[in-house]
Amino acid sequence: MEGNIFQPYLHAESIFRENRDVLRPSYIPDSLPHRERQINQLASVLATALRGAAPSNVMIFGKTGTGKTAVVKYVGHEFRRADIEDRVEYFYINCEIVDTPYGVFQNVGNRFIQDFDERIPFTGLSTERVYNLLRRKIDDAARVVVIALDEIDKLVYKSGDDVLYHLTKINDDLHQAKVSLIGISNDLKFTEFLDPRVKSRLSDEKMVFPPYNAKELGDILEQRAQLAFDPGVIEEGVIPLIAALAAQEHGDARRALDLLRVSGELADRKGRNHITEVMVQRAKNKLELDLVIEAVRSLPTHSKLILLGIILQQEVGIAKLTTGEVYDTYSQLCRRAGLGPLTQRRVTDLISELDMLGLINAKVKSFGRGGRTKEIQSSVSAPDVKRILNRDEVLRELRSYRPKVQTTLI
DNA sequence: TGTCCACTGGAAGGGAGGGCTT
DNA sequence: AAGCCCTCCCTTCCAGTGGACA
């Protein structure tokens, strides 16, 4: 053991108490400060269903980090604690992960199937059949089924409102069971895309979660800090600072907790036993960079090539590019890398994706006779991104590549 | 006022990859 | 083994468009 590389870490003191997960967004504490009203409202809607009345569906709106998911999961925990499992089945699906009709039906259905051999396979059956299977299983279970669909707008955006159409009218086909839906979305306008019937059924009840203000964020941080750290670890001024930073970003509690957690981790790594305001600033930078690194790293090869093309152009002094220019550079890079380039139509979509990820800035702009196209700019630090891209096998070959500088004659 | 550029972004569809059913 | 089904990633085709310029 002597001289072992892990030796120094084995006895290192951590400023965290045993469980730092209390600072992760997935952790649901015993109480949710400043969301009592929403919890009660949701509980009262669902309680109606418990008494055997027709269950209302609920739509919950609110920006990221306003506690939507936490409230919905919290109420789910309370159901479980209330010991009414013979009457209520409550579950939660994140539609960003499960984003197809088949996937939703399969997911819900499988919760009612204990026997492994009978489980609905992840592919192979027709969607219609999976729906029928699901309906039978729910009815057999003969209880109130509450299905929470988080990021429901992603599901509708990707697969249309077919799933919701089925799920909102499933009660007509059930004899012993009842289904109630909770839809969670950060996009207030998404219901405009729904079939009017689905729309009215889905939002029997509507709740809007306001952003937290700095004081409320402070309370939330205070609550979690007490769970995560010993008293006195956090210097005065740290929590107000984090609360203020997060309040600037539309009152995002998730971000506030991330900042606190990462600040703690930075303090740990430096072997300090206090969290200071300086560490919060560092944590802020680290979080921002980590986000970019992760986004770039997990990009598909062709998207990486597009991004690399944009960055290289920028390095030779061309800041603003059109789709055509990006496509040209991208095609050259593809050839260098020995890959067949995708069509320009496909690249347009990939550019839009990069824009949505915040890695580039793409605005549609008309140049009159010069045509109508996107004006594209990278919005991340070029050296950072290049370093990450260089780790990719395919792209490493292109390290020496320099784009041709357009010799525009004036 | 109309023209025309360089795309944009919707629609349809192909085919590969997964897997079930008969 | 043949026939289906669903999803993902692309391609092909194309009508539509904001605004500088003639």
Which CATH number do you get for residue A392?
1.10.10.10
Helices (H), A90-126: 101-111
User: Element (H or E) spanning A353, and its range?
Assistant: helix A344-356
The answer to whether the beta carbons of residues A336 and A401 sit under 8 Å apart is: yes
Measured CA to CA, the distance from residue A358 to residue A370 in angstroms comes to 27
Percentage of the residues of chain A whose pLDDT score is greater than 70: 95
Return the CATH number at A280: 1.10.8.60
In this structure, are A365 and A229 located in the same domain?
A: no
What gap in Å lies between CA A167 and CA A55, rounded to an integer? 13
Q: Is the pLDDT confidence value at A202 over 50?
A: yes
From the Cβ of A370, is strand C under 7 Å away? yes
Q: Which pLDDT value is given to residue A3?
A: 66
Predicted confidence band at A330 (pLDDT cuts at 50, 70, 90)? very high
Domain end call among A274, A295, A316: A295
Regarding whether A202 and A271 lie in a shared domain, the answer is: no
Instruction: Work out how many domains chain A is built from and give that number.
Output: 3
In this structure, are A237 and A325 located in the same domain?
no
Q: Which of A295, A311, A326 is the last residue of a domain?
A: A295
**pLDDT for position A11:** 60
Q: Which of A40-49, A283-292, A396-405 has the lowest mean pLDDT?
A: A396-405
Q: What does residue A16 show for φ and ψ, rounded to 5 degrees?
A: -75, 145
A154 and A101 inside one domain: yes
- Listed as ranges, the nucleotides of chain C within 7 A of a protein C-beta are 4-14, 16-21
Q: Which H or E run includes A48?
A: helix A36-50
Q: Say which residues have a Cβ less than 8 Å from residue A165's Cβ, sequence separation at least 6.
A: A195, A197, A198
Separation of alpha carbons A132 and A267, rounded Å: 54
Predicted pLDDT at A30: 92
- Residue A320 sits in the same domain as residue A263: no
Residues A112 and A201 reside in one and the same domain: yes
pLDDT attached to residue A249:
87
CA of residue A133 relative to chain centroid, distance = 30
Range of the domain at A105: 35-208
Q: How far is the CA of A309 from the C1' of C14 (A)?
A: 28
The SS3 assignment for A344 reads helix
pLDDT attached to residue A136: 92
Nucleotide with minimal C1' distance from the CA of A126 is C5
The pLDDT mean for chain A works out to 89
Same domain, A82 and A165: yes
pLDDT value, residue A12: 65
CB crowding A276-303: b at 16 or more within 10 Å, else e: beebbebbbebeeeeebeebbeebeebb
Residue A186 belongs to a domain with what CATH number? Answer: 3.40.50.300
Q: Is the pLDDT assigned to residue A167 strictly greater than 80?
A: yes
A366 touches strand C (CB under 7 A): yes
Answer whether residue A27 is part of any domain. Answer: no
Could you tell me if A123 and A226 lie in one domain?
no
pLDDT at A409 over 50: no
What tokens does A94 get? Answer: 């994140």
pLDDT tens-digit map of A235-292: 999 999 999 999 998 899 999 999 999 999 999 888 888 999 999 999 999 999 999 9
A232 and A83 housed in the same domain: no
What does R_g of chain A's alpha carbons equal in angstroms?
Answer: 26
The pTM is what? 0.86
The verdict on A384 and A345 lying in the same domain is: yes
User: Does nucleic acid strand C have an atom less than 7 angstroms from the CB of A271?
Assistant: no
pLDDT at residue A405, rounded to an integer: 60
The residues close to strand B, meaning Cβ under 7 A, are A 121-125, 322-325, 327, 344-345, 348, 351-352, 364, 368-374
Nucleotide nearest to A123 (CA to C1'): B19
Query: Looking at the structure, do residues A202 and A117 belong to the same domain, yes or no?
Result: yes
In angstroms, the CA A145 to CA A85 distance is 10
Are residues A183 and A257 located together in one domain of the fold? Answer: no
- What mean pLDDT is predicted for residues A400-405? 75
pLDDT on residue A408: 42
